[in-house]
Chains A and B, each alone.
Chain A
């Protein structure tokens, strides 16, 4: 058993044992182990890819949301503006109509007042005429009966008129 000369026995056993070891380990250890490692690496890669894809999708979704939000905001503003305009117009219209109606009522009232006054003046005139006619009638009646009394009457009438 020299240091530098290989022993035939050890060579034999080494070839046998190493050969068996190689075949058994290859088939039952290295194959499943490397396969599992590969599988896991693929899984990790897939997961990373998925995460990246999801991130991009999320960003897109967020951009879409932002756009939608902006659109909604713009629409809201438009609606509000429209509503305000409508309200303003309605108010202005109502005001105009009310002014017009008021003016019309006032005008009508003025006209009625005018008519009434004219009627009243006509009434007063008629009264005065009737009264004057009555007086004239009475004077005429007295005059017709007696001269003296006629005078007296005139005198009293004048007095009366003076008293009035």
Chain B
């Protein structure tokens, strides 16, 4: 039953997206043909940046864009909501100008007025992907839960048996050994964290997928939550260790205390940068490899472009497989380090202190 529901939901989402996309595609093509006549030279940097950065509107392929709602707030004008497809037709819409993917208020001369602060709460490509992944996570884990209710006292089945080892892995290999006996309190967060990163890493690898876990805002939020949990659950040993390290000569304290305090902020900062850099780098590598085909095409004609393609395909296939590994690895590392930080904040004795 649940599988049927999932399939139905998935199908309806795909159908909905594809009809929307098709409608916009027709729109865009109509628009493009009149505007640009000459052949543009391929710029690999722009192409890559365009792919790894956020965007208003979700471009699946060239000219195939799903318009998304733009939600803007300015102090004087208040809330404004309109479709992102308006910017495809005209540069200046409803008193707003889009410049380098950023929306500004239009000044008197139609140029962007950068003095007025525009708060952009748009459902961008990344936000849409975020919502999609959240829906997917809910769908998947509600189905898993249903499996546990249905197969009570029986062997796990289907999606439940597929994800059970992963859940057990997070519990037994990440949470238990690093946090200790009080792991149960933090397990829901660690599971959410792990599967959120994993699902979004994998969604990001799909063609047309958003680079969500390679976005600094996403990794920053995760890192800040980790920071808050670690420091809010820190016991007196943790704080004592921070401000009165044992076994350190008094003369060294002026150096050690700032170092320890920097460490407190460094840990989540490294989490943020690690995930962001790993995922973004992976995307950049694959895009650069694919970009090589078009560079060859520009340099030596279409024959050259076709000629290098097989090699590039092999390389990018290889990179995609590596990225698949990285998707799991980064979800694992983020969760592992988070549980280690939590573990070090709540441990009772200083036995395991040699890790510094």
Contacts and interface: CB of A to CB of B under 8 A. Distances in A.
B188 A31 contact: yes
A3 B220 contact: no
A5 B216 contact: yes
Contacts of A17: 130-131, 134
B217 A30 contact: no
A11 interface: yes
A27 to B, nearest CB: 9
B119 A8 contact: yes
B42 to A, nearest CB: 21
Given A3-B53, A3-B280, A10-B124, A33 B217 contact: no
Given A9-B119, A10-B215, A29-B142, 16 more contacts: A1-B54, A1-B102, A2-B53, A3-B49, A9-B71, A9-B122, A10-B124, A14-B218, A18-B222, A30-B141, A33-B144, A33-B145, A36-B148, A36-B152, A37-B167, A37-B168
A15 interface: yes
Interface stretch (B14-22, B87-95, B189-197, B263-271): B189-197
Contacts of A28: 142, 145
Interface of A: 1-15, 17-18, 20-22, 24-26, 28-34, 36-37, 40, 43
B102, B192, B220 interface centre (most CB from chain A within 10 Å): B192
B138 A22 contact: no
B218 A10 contact: yes
Contact of A24 (B138, B153, B184): B138
Contacts of B71: 9
B201 interface: no
A34 B101 CA distance: 44
B261 to A, nearest CB: 23
Interface of B: 49, 52-55, 71, 101-102, 119-124, 126-127, 130-131, 134, 137-138, 141-142, 144-145, 148-149, 152-153, 164, 167-168, 171, 184, 187-189, 191-192, 196, 215-218, 220-222, 225, 280
A32 B71 CA distance: 37
A150 B38 CA distance: 210
B164 A20 contact: no
* A-B CB proximity, top 6 nearest: A6-B217, A26-B188, A29-B141, A36-B148, A10-B217, A30-B188
A14 B188 contact: no
Contacts of B131: 13, 17
A33 B221 contact: no
A72 B187 CA distance: 62
Contacts of A24: 138
